[in-house]
């Protein structure tokens, strides 16, 4: 089916329910994302495989992104049924294919790459060549969404910027993910999670109270930016059914990180108070932190006076709840050090399983601090089937976190393992772009594939 003529002789239907195509009231912008409209007439989208029941099964995505934030966003779309084609550099691919250890299997597959690239097809294209750009532009004609995370201006130089591609597909939702946005003094800097976390304030409030700043154990700024991008893309797709136009969605790590400061930001912006490092503790609630048991660590929290009284009773120190210094949350915050010291003396007398039994009966919030292997062995995690498993031709079994958002009528799924580099070249060029064997050979000769 040739790109640009994919509607011929095919029964088409839109991916959004009919009721949602009615005129809807305007919505406010999603934090971390900016939308810029294009100008076009509506069209409908072709249905994809019947075996895919995801809500986005008719949405077609060109993924030019690399590393984490962009691939996380496109994987989320793919998990919910979108047809995602990942365009990679010839011979090298996404940078994260080389990130490790750990690598698995005889061919040394990167577990980092595999964490954010399932449910996608891969084609390697040299976008610096004219032939390679032609391939990408034909994919753009096919697509509903394009996601990229190049430095601002880089794709414009290649003729693949938003203002270029909207001319050939004005209904395209074009999502740009950057470190610092498209303008401003930092715009041309490469954006990486830990650096942006530092600039965006997160690192300053992470770590032990009297220790140095620390990074979060997972790249949450990248991941939350990916989530923000998904929200922006879906909002733009919904708007397209109302307006008939695509638009530019802009997400940056810094914009998202500043929004993620949430109550710590409003504490400063409205109250003039700077948040500080407190380890696992909470600045406004005491107790609400990690305690050492006889055989491990556990988080314990008392968010109101009733829970605090129940905690004290469970630990055998009921009189603490009646003490003038500790009878209110404000008093407990003021006398934090003294109270936490007294509680630690009692908690350490028990094992983690003993504490779980005591606190569950007392209806006091708690959570044992699990290592990642303990997390995947946790009975509730197992019951919820939070690890997905698929056979893999090179490593035996592919295992990864399952789709976390559950839709009752159109569930997402893990259908295919992360692709090998350029695995789907023939399929994409012939079935998506509609090229003949001679055209593919000509593109090869002209350097389209490296």
Structure tokens at 130: 């004219």
Q: Spell out the residues 6+ positions from residue 175 whose beta carbon is closer than 8 angstroms to its own.
A: 73, 145, 146, 147, 148, 229, 232, 233, 236, 248, 249, 250, 251
Q: Are 96 and 112 in contact (CB under 8 A)?
A: yes
Distances from the Cα of 44 to the Cαs of 38, 144, 169, 226, 291, in angstroms? 17, 10, 13, 26, 57
Structure tokens at 193: 């999670």
**CA–CA separation, 442 vs 450, rounded Å?**
13
| 437 in catalytic set | no
Structure tokens at 191: 């954006």
Structure tokens at 411: 């569930």
Q: Kindly tell me the sign of the dihedral angle through the C-alpha atoms of 208, 213, 219, 222.
A: positive
Phi and psi angles of residue 88, each rounded to the nearest 5 degrees, phi first: -120, 165
Q: Are 6 and 46 in contact (CB under 8 A)?
A: yes
Q: Are 199 and 254 in contact (CB under 8 A)?
A: yes
DSSP category for residue 29 = P
Q: Are 64 and 147 in contact (CB under 8 A)?
A: yes
Inter-axis angle of helices 130-142 and 437-445, nearest 10: 140
Q: Are 131 and 446 in contact (CB under 8 A)?
A: yes
Helix, strand, coil percent content, the chain, rounded in steps of 5:
35, 15, 50
Pick the catalytic residue from 79, 94, 144, 222: 222
Residues marked active site are found at 222
């Amino acid at each position: 089916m040739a790109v640009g003529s994919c509607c011929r002789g095919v029964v088409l239907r839109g991916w959004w329910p009919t009721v949602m195509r009615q005129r809807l009231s305007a919505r406010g912008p999603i934090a971390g994302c900016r939308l810029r409209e294009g100008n076009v007439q509506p069209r409908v989208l072709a249905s994809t495989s019947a075996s895919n029941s995801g809500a986005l099964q008719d949405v077609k995505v060109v993924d030019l992104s690399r590393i984490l934030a962009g691939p996380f966003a496109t994987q989320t779309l793919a998990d919910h049924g979108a047809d995602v084609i990942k365009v990679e550099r010839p011979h090298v691919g996404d940078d994260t294919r080389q990130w490790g250890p750990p690598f698995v299997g005889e061919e040394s597959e990167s577990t980092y790459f595999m964490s954010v690239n399932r449910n996608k097809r891969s084609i390697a294209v040299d976008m610096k060549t004219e032939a390679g750009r032609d391939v990408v532009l034909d994919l753009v004609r096919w697509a509903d969404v394009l996601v990229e995370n190049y430095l601002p201006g880089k794709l414009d130089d290649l003729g693949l910027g938003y203002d270029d591609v909207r001319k050939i597909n004005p209904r395209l939702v074009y999502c740009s993910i950057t470190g610092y946005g498209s303008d401003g003094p930092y715009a041309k800097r490469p954006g990486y999670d830990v650096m942006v976390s530092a600039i965006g304030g997160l690192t300053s409030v992470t770590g032990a109270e009297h220790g140095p700043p620390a990074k979060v154990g997972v790249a949450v700024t990248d991941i939350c930016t990916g989530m923000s991008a998904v929200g922006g893309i879906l909002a733009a797709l919904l708007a397209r059914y109302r307006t008939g136009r695509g638009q530019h969605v802009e997400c940056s790590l810094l914009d998202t990180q500043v929004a993620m400061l949430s109550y710590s930001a409003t504490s400063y912006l409205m109250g003039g108070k700077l948040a500080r490092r407190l380890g696992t503790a909470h600045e406004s609630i005491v107790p609400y932190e990690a305690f050492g048991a006889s055989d491990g660590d556990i988080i314990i929290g008392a968010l109101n006076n009733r829970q605090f009284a129940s905690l004290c009773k469970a630990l055998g120190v009921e009189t603490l709840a009646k003490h003038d210094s500790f009878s209110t949350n404000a008093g407990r915050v003021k006398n934090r050090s003294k109270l936490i010291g007294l509680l630690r003396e009692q908690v350490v007398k028990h094992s983690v399983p003993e504490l779980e039994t005591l606190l569950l009966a007392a209806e006091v919030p708690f959570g044992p601090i699990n290592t990642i292997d303990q997390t995947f062995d946790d009975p509730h995690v197992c019951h919820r089937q939070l690890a997905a498993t698929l056979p893999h031709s090179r490593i035996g079994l592919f295992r990864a976190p399952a789709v976390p958002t559950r839709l009752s009528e159109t569930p997402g799924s893990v259908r295919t393992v992360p692709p090998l580099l350029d695995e789907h070249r023939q399929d994409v060029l012939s079935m998506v772009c509609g090229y003949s064997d001679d055209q593919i050979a000509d593109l090869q000769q002209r350097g389209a594939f490296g």
